[in-house]
A = this chain, B = another copy of it.
Amino acid sequence: MIIVMSPAAAQTEIDNVVARVTGAGLKVHLSEGKVRTIIGLIGEKKLMAQLPLEAMPGVEKTIAVTAGYKLVSREFKNEDTVIDIGGILVGGANLVVMAGPCAVESKEQLLESAKIVKAAGAQFLRGGAYKPRTSPYSFQGLEEKGLELLAEAKAVTGLKIVTEVVDIQSVPTVSAYADVLQIGARNMQNFQLLKAVGKSGMPVLLKRGMAATINEWLHAAEYIMSEGNFNVMFCERGIRTFEDYTRNTLDLSAVAVLKNLSHLPVIVDPSHGTGVWKLVRPMAKAAVAGGADGLMIEVHPNPAEALSDGNQSLTPDNFQALMNEVGAIAAVVGRKMA
């Protein structure tokens, strides 16, 4: 960390800062410029994080030079993490597809969806049993009944199951049915839930919060990993901006940024990321070309009948077309689809 003193800082103020910092067990490195003094701190991040330096007289600002996360970083582990989920590998040179309806609505809808996405080549079935919804009056999901249907679809098709967990209490229940626990965007900084899925040891798909910086997202993953669970995947699903044609702005550059900073796999969800089904196929292709390790796609046997997010769901035909297109891109960027 670097402390930038005000040009008007008195020598006693500089001395006080130095005394406070060294008193906390850190070493300092003073740089006296023509205009101002800059103080570099050397030592443990944890100690630095707990000093309220900007409140000290004479301090103009502090600048962090190193990240507050460790286990998620490339510096901690240089090679790409590959997660084995019941034989399906995520990460490395593999490309996976997670597809299915936004919400589990009924046995027929789910089984039909599962067969469609299986036939088109997906490895995972997605489907929400617990649905966080903006309004308390919207459909909130079938809950445990939905989990049972997901298990049934798994039994029939062999697809792995990825589904959202929305509170600590239901972590054991969801873990009993699912192969991957999804943390939704609204819960990216629900730290109690992050710790709970960390303790569960289950593979976790961590969606980006709608206004989360990449730095915060990496820290959220660190919460899970710091509980000993290294099976974490990021899922970019768009951030909130002023643009209102799309539901969110899908930040594909986040894929390459994460690949530089972390060893963990990165999945892209162009369905939520755009909110418009016509944009899903081009953005899926872009995601794979840009380095994504997988895709999460909403597919519905009949989007016009869906109970939620029908507007961004693909028809079976469109999904098949997407898989063909993505397969062609994958081939030229050195990815193999399972």
Q: Which residues of A contact B (CB under 8 A)?
A: 2, 4, 7, 20, 29, 31, 33-36, 38, 40, 42, 45-46, 49-50, 52-57, 63, 65-66, 68-69, 75, 132-139, 166-169, 186-187, 189-193, 195, 209-211, 213-216, 219, 222-223, 226, 239-246, 249-257, 259-260, 273-274, 276-279, 282-283, 285-291, 300, 303-311, 313, 325, 328-329, 331-333
Q: What is the chain B residue whose CB lies nearest that of A29?
A: B31
For A29, the chain B residues whose CB sits under 8 A away are 31, 33
Q: How far is the CB of A112 from chain B (nearest CB, A)?
A: 16
Answer whether A285 and B278 are a contact pair too, CB < 8 Å, given A7-B75, A249-B241, A257-B246.
no
Tell me whether A210 and B211 are in contact (CB under 8 A). Answer: yes
Specify how many copies of this chain sit in the oligomer.
4
- CB contacts (< 8 Å) of A329 on chain B: these are 289, 329, 332-333
- Contact between B308 and A279, CB atoms less than 8 A apart: no
Closest 7 CB pairs of A and B: A52-B310, A211-B211, A286-B290, A289-B289, A54-B311, A55-B303, A55-B310
Secondary structure at the A interface, as helix, strand, loop or mixed, is mixed
When distances are taken between beta carbons in the complex, the residues of chain B under 8 Å from A243 are: 213-214, 239, 251, 254
CA distance in complex: A277, B256 (Å):
11
With A45-B137, A49-B135, A136-B226 given, can you name 4 additional A-B contacts, CB distance below 8 Å? A4-B65, A29-B31, A249-B251, A257-B276
**CB closest chain-B residue, reference A307:** B50
Q: Are A279 and B250 in contact (CB under 8 A)?
A: no
Which chain B residues border A135 with CB–CB below 8 Å? 49, 68-69, 219, 222
Q: Which B residue's beta carbon lies closest to that of A292?
A: B286
Q: What would 30 A/B residue contacts be, using CB atoms closer than 8 Å?
A: A2-B2, A2-B65, A29-B33, A35-B66, A49-B138, A50-B308, A52-B309, A52-B310, A55-B311, A134-B189, A134-B216, A135-B219, A136-B226, A137-B226, A168-B168, A211-B242, A214-B243, A214-B245, A239-B242, A241-B242, A242-B242, A243-B251, A249-B253, A252-B283, A253-B282, A256-B283, A282-B290, A285-B289, A285-B290, A331-B332
